[in-house]
Amino acid sequence: MSSMDDNELCDWLALSFVAGVGRRTAGVMLERFGSPKAILEATTTVLHANGLKPECVESIKDPEHHERAKRELDRLREHGAELIVLFDERYPVLLKEIYDPPILLYVRGDLGRALAQPAVAVVGSRLCSTYGRNASEMFARSLAENGVTIISGLARGIDAAAHQGAIAGGGLTVGVMGTGIDVIYPKDHRELADQVEKHGALITEFPIGTPPLSQNFPFRNRVISGLCLGVIVVEGAERSGSLITARMAYEQGREVFAVPGNITSSKSFGPNFLIKDGAKLIQTWQDVIEEFPPQHKARIIADSRNDRRREDQPEIDELVLSEIERQVLSLIKLDEPMQIDPLIYESKLGLPDLMSALLKLEMMGRIRQLPGKCFVRKL
């Protein structure tokens, strides 16, 4: 745990509230002065001599920042959150290496546990296809089962599928927010956010109460890539946030992986473009592990217990499926939702038998029901 007292934490918060001091400037000033307290107590002459603009110096000397910091510390604790600052030994090692790391992180959950193992980000379109959702969930689940933490942005679509896949795989996941730690966005992801906190952590660099402003999300994206060894892009249009995250990953020296998509789909532009640009095309979770540093790669490959369990599972499932259930499963596709009427026609089954088979397959996790009585096979 941090050994910093509340006064020190308030100094960090006060520095983060100073107008005109961005992430990079704050980092440089901390290197020069050694602590937020030294910056805040420096004379105006010294601050000017260090290249700070007059309005910035004036803001540093504003006593209101300290009052706001005290209120902020109380509020974050009310929300069950804690503060991890740049000089804290618990601060994520990989994130500290990037060009402009956040000087502080608001955290709910156990970030240390989540980042005690290698991490990979999974990002992509909010308005994803069934194929994209399945791929995101499959990669996240398989990687999580093998001791890899899944980082994503808690958004709809690919992000949500990644978090859900990691949780379904019994693994760990981290949700990086573009809002205050108390503002869940989108609002209907409150339950998902609670699950992510329980199975990892929620983090943000933005103050309590910060709404989902569009300009915040590129900053959020650099943290997503900064926390991990590599970024998996599942789907993304030509001008998408996932491509921004991939570019940031390149700049930070991270690996970029891409799941190939249908060339006629606009959502596939992002990953297909990245593949042309040198990103690694991935088809299985092992393709991702291959690019890990030797120490992580060796450990994961050596621990093959999960591999054997997954290889045996389909055979066990097939043994417990009835002939009718196997027939229905064979009709349901991976990437094209199938409505109930065509299933009745093609299976030549009565509605009660068909619905019974669909329910069994859904309970076994072999298919997913979509709105409008449509069904799709899960990877």
Asked whether residue 106 is domain-assigned, the answer is: no
Asked whether residue 209 is domain-assigned, the answer is: yes
Same domain, 343 and 297: no
Other CB atoms within 10 Å distance of the CB of residue 316: 10
Q: What percent of the chain has pLDDT above 90?
A: 64
Same domain, 49 and 126: no
Same domain, 131 and 265: yes
The enclosing domain of 359 has a CATH number of 1.10.10.10
Residue positions counted in the chain: 379
- In the listed set 18, 41, 72, which residue is the last one of a domain according to the structure? 72
Same domain, 365 and 224: no
Asked whether residue 105 is domain-assigned, the answer is: no
**Mean pLDDT, the chain, whole residue set:** 90
- In the listed set 244, 279, 304, which residue is the last one of a domain according to the structure? 304
Asked whether residue 174 is domain-assigned, the answer is: yes
pLDDT band at 341 (very low <50, low <70, confident <90, very high): confident
Residue 123 sits in which domain range?
111-304
Taking residues 8-36, what's their average pLDDT? 90
Taking residues 219-234, what's their average pLDDT? 96
Kindly report, residue by residue over 59-115, the tens digit of the pLDDT. Answer: 999 889 999 999 999 999 999 999 999 999 999 999 999 999 999 999 999 999 999
Rounded Cα gap, residues 326 and 347, in angstroms: 11
Rounded Cα gap, residues 232 and 152, in angstroms: 10
DSSP state of 279: P
Same domain, 117 and 248: yes
**Per-residue pLDDT at 67:** 94
Same domain, 213 and 278: yes
Same domain, 242 and 332: no
Same domain, 293 and 327: no
Same domain, 254 and 118: yes
Kindly report, residue by residue over 227-281, the tens digit of the pLDDT. Answer: 999 999 999 988 888 999 999 999 999 999 999 998 888 899 999 999 999 999 9
Asked whether residue 85 is domain-assigned, the answer is: no
When divided into structural domains, the chain yields a total of 3
- In the listed set 72, 97, 126, which residue is the last one of a domain according to the structure? 72
Asked whether residue 328 is domain-assigned, the answer is: yes
Rounded Cα gap, residues 47 and 259, in angstroms: 49
Asked whether residue 233 is domain-assigned, the answer is: yes
Rounded Cα gap, residues 187 and 174, in angstroms: 18
**Per-residue pLDDT at 314:** 52
Same domain, 238 and 173: yes
- Would you list the DSSP string of 329-340? HHHS-SSS-EEH
Asked whether residue 267 is domain-assigned, the answer is: yes
DSSP state of 268: G
Select the highest-mean-pLDDT range: 198-202, 233-237, 301-305.
198-202
Q: Tokens in use for 208?
A: 């309590």
**Per-residue pLDDT at 1:** 44
Same domain, 149 and 236: yes
Rounded Cα gap, residues 102 and 210, in angstroms: 16
Taking residues 314-320, what's their average pLDDT? 54
Same domain, 275 and 129: yes
